Chains A and B, each alone.
Chain A
Amino acid sequence: GAGVSQSPSNKVTEKGKDVELRCDPISGHTALYWYRQSLGQGLEFLIYFQGNSAPDKSGLPSDRFSAERTGGSVSTLTIQRTQQEDSAVYLCASSLIGGTSGSHEQFFGPGTRLTVL
């Protein structure tokens, strides 16, 4: 079946503009995660959805960042008034909570590379 998909693949924007990043998880996966990967760094957790609810949004770096998930499927990460330090790769992952494997493997999308000029 299809894996996690993200769009756009690359996004270049000007400082101060708003951007929306989209994630389509694997069908049936109840959990969805957003991570940010800055140049040369590991992945930094942003937010976690279980269904349409976000029980953990502790990783969102500022109130300019928000995310929503609708229908227990597609998620959108919105960054308002973008700053140059927002430049990074934004990765989305999904997993099946409650499956037979307790490790709840997270499957990652290819990411969106955001460049803020």
Chain B
Amino acid sequence: AQTVTQSQPEMSVQEAETVTLSCTYDTSESDYYLFWYKQPPSRQMILVIRQEAYKQQNATENRFSVNFQKAAKSFSLKISDSQLGDAAMYFCAYRSAEGNEKLTFGTGTRLTIIP
């Protein structure tokens, strides 16, 4: 079974600064997808960024980028120019490329933005 680990329960960053959230995972599969989801107090899970394991290039979405290290099974999220609206719980998630479509989530990192 796959597992996802987020070792930072809480993180804080000054507004406009850069912060990196860590995620590691364990799998025996070679093809899969990785995701970062944001969950604000409204509870709505919002997809921030996705990475296909077969792609070596790190995904980027505006101020959000990932550092995907397949051999190390590491998938960190970097948020640049942090904004107050970035405050939320961030979840790392794994999905196999075959068979079961379910997402396996980490336990989350609560990000606080300091004005």
Residue positions of A touching B, CB distance < 8 A: 31, 33, 35, 40-45, 48, 50, 55-56, 59, 89, 91, 93, 95, 97, 102-111, 113
Is residue B62 contacting chain A, with contact meaning CB distance below 8 A? Answer: no
- Can you list 29 pairs linking A and B with CB atoms under 8 Å apart? A31-B101, A33-B101, A33-B102, A41-B107, A41-B108, A42-B91, A42-B105, A43-B45, A43-B105, A45-B104, A48-B101, A48-B102, A50-B101, A56-B100, A59-B102, A89-B43, A91-B43, A93-B45, A97-B101, A102-B52, A103-B50, A103-B52, A103-B95, A104-B95, A106-B103, A108-B44, A110-B42, A110-B44, A113-B43
Is residue B33 contacting chain A, with contact meaning CB distance below 8 A? Answer: yes
Contacts of A43 in B (CB 8 A): 45, 91, 93, 103, 105
* Chain A interface, DSSP helix/strand/loop, else mixed: strand
Number of A-B contacts (CB under 8 A): 67
Is residue B47 contacting chain A, with contact meaning CB distance below 8 A? Answer: yes
Contacts of A108 in B (CB 8 A): 37, 44-46
Distance, CA A103 to CA B107, complexed state (A) = 22
Residue positions of B touching A, CB distance < 8 A: 4, 6, 33, 35, 37, 42-47, 50, 52, 91, 93, 95, 97, 100-108
Contacts of B100 in A (CB 8 A): 48, 55-56
Give, as a whole number of angstroms, the nearest-CB distance from B115 to chain A: 25
A50 — nearest CB in chain B belongs to which residue?
A: B101
Q: Are A104 and B45 in contact, with the CB atoms below 8 A? A: no
Q: Are B106 and A42 in contact, with the CB atoms below 8 A? A: yes
Extra contacts, 5 of them, besides A33-B101, A104-B101, A108-B45 (Cβ < 8 A), are A33-B103, A43-B45, A45-B102, A106-B103, A109-B44
